[in-house]
Amino acid sequence: MTTVATDVFNVHARLECLTCGRVQPPSSTWGGCVACGDQEPVVVTYDPTLALTDAAEVARTLTPTLPEHVLDLGQGATPLVAAPELAANLHLKVEGQNPTGSHKDRFQAIAVGLARALGYPGVVTSSTGNHGAAAAAFAARAGLRCLVCLHPEAPPALMSQIASYGAAIAIVPGREGELISRLVDGGWYPATSADPALAGRANPYGSEGYKRIAFEIVETLGDVPPVVAVAAASGDTLYGIWRGFQDLHERLGLRVPGLLACQPVGSAPLALALREDGRGVVSEPHSLALSVRDASSGRHASRLVRSHVALPVTVEEDQLADATRALAAHGFCVEPASALALAGLRLARERGVVASEAPAVAILTSSGLNWTRDLDVIVGAPPVHRSIEAALEAADVV
């Protein structure tokens, strides 16, 4: 099914192939560029002649769909908290305060909203947990059916959350793309990432939701920070945040920050993409940070790395654990994958890749509340004292 719905999409929006440059109207095509034989990813761009005067107008105007089609569960407008005790000149963007506990709500508010506007009966996605929870929540909000292909190691808390929204869960390791393709061929909507090579079918619209992270940072700080660090997996988050800053740059002349794309050393396809000047595929990805344990990142994100717009930073597991503990010790309970942003920033400063005093924002993509199983691995079992005497001793009051 290919639909061009002028009452759904923004008239200024278009789909652009990053490989051949072909531009086409936004539509329900989910296989990447139709002109490129190998299904290259397409991204959303906007009429470059459109004159915009300020950041609020950029945020309001450069959205893929008409605003009434974006679903609302209260997502976005997350806090930006100064945290100099964790690193000099650091602000933390606390995305865990989104409705389902992660930044993925920004993606699905647009993606699932579009599914409803186009009249799809159901949405399908593949996920290690966060992406699926967001898809399920917004599908419930939209009154649509939802099926989430979950990673077999997805945390139980997220499975329960997904089920609570009424979504179905499939665990079919290695065959997620096949299931998604069959559902989409059967008329369902793919709420998947932007590169069709990753999940069988691609959704170029959802990552536009991440632009608001950039817009909100600039609005709160009143300026573009020199450095922004974020964990990267499929690359939609990295791409979307960059796209937000790039929109402000192209339309208003603002600078673009140095982006740190933080990945665990055992699963760092973006670093591989840079070294090998290709896409980068990790043969046996491993890390405690399940959300970013990807064999490859999307080609849209790989391009950012190869063009030196984003710098890949690889983080050792003990550094990831240290950053998770440090954040929690200062009141920020995050999913371990989120802590990659702080760990990567610290590494980049130590190595002199970015100036150590340059103001930086680390994106804490996800709350730790859904990932207590993995936090226990890092922090250890909760220290419960089962007698008054032991509790007093633990508090140094005897």
Contact residues for Zn ion (CB under 5 A)? Answer: 17, 19-20, 22, 33, 35-36, 40
Nearer to Zn ion (CB atom), residue 22 or residue 325 = 22
Quickly count: other Cβ atoms within 10 Å of residue 91's Cβ: 22
Reduced 3-state DSSP string for the chain: CCCCCCCCECCCEEEEECCCCCEECCCCCCCCCCCCCCCCCEEEEECCCCCCCCHHHHHHHCCCECHHHCCCCCCCCCCEEECCCCCCCEEEEEHHHCCCCECHHHHHHHHHHHHHHCCCCEEEEEECCHHHHHHHHHHHHHCCEEEEEECCCCCHHHHHHHHHCCCEEECCCCCHHHHHHHHHHCCCEECCCCCHHHHCCCCCCHHHHHHHHHHHHHHHHCCCCCEEEEECCCCHHHHHHHHHHHHHHHHHCCCCCEEEEEEECCCCHHHHHHHHCCCCCCCCCCCCCHHHCCCCCCHHHHHHHHCCCEEEEEECHHHHHHHHHHHHHCCCCECHHHHHHHHHHHHHHHCCCCCCCCCEEEEECEECCCCHHHHHHHHCCCCCCCCHHHHHHHCCCC
Nearer to Zn ion (CB atom), residue 86 or residue 304 = 304
In the complex, the smallest distance separating the C-beta of residue 363 from Zn ion, rounded to whole angstroms, is 30
In the complex, the smallest distance separating the C-beta of residue 241 from Zn ion, rounded to whole angstroms, is 24
Nearer to Zn ion (CB atom), residue 23 or residue 391 = 23
Nearer to Zn ion (CB atom), residue 28 or residue 267 = 28
Nearer to Zn ion (CB atom), residue 33 or residue 90 = 33
Residue 30 neighbours by CB under 8 Å, 6+ apart: 184, 190, 192, 196, 201, 202, 203
In the complex, the smallest distance separating the C-beta of residue 197 from Zn ion, rounded to whole angstroms, is 14
Nearer to Zn ion (CB atom), residue 33 or residue 274 = 33
Nearer to Zn ion (CB atom), residue 17 or residue 347 = 17
In the complex, the smallest distance separating the C-beta of residue 329 from Zn ion, rounded to whole angstroms, is 48
In the complex, the smallest distance separating the C-beta of residue 25 from Zn ion, rounded to whole angstroms, is 15
Nearer to Zn ion (CB atom), residue 35 or residue 88 = 35
In the complex, the smallest distance separating the C-beta of residue 23 from Zn ion, rounded to whole angstroms, is 10
In the complex, the smallest distance separating the C-beta of residue 19 from Zn ion, rounded to whole angstroms, is 5
In the complex, the smallest distance separating the C-beta of residue 35 from Zn ion, rounded to whole angstroms, is 4
Nearer to Zn ion (CB atom), residue 13 or residue 379 = 13
In the complex, the smallest distance separating the C-beta of residue 13 from Zn ion, rounded to whole angstroms, is 17
* The token pair that represents 140 in the structure block: 């419930």
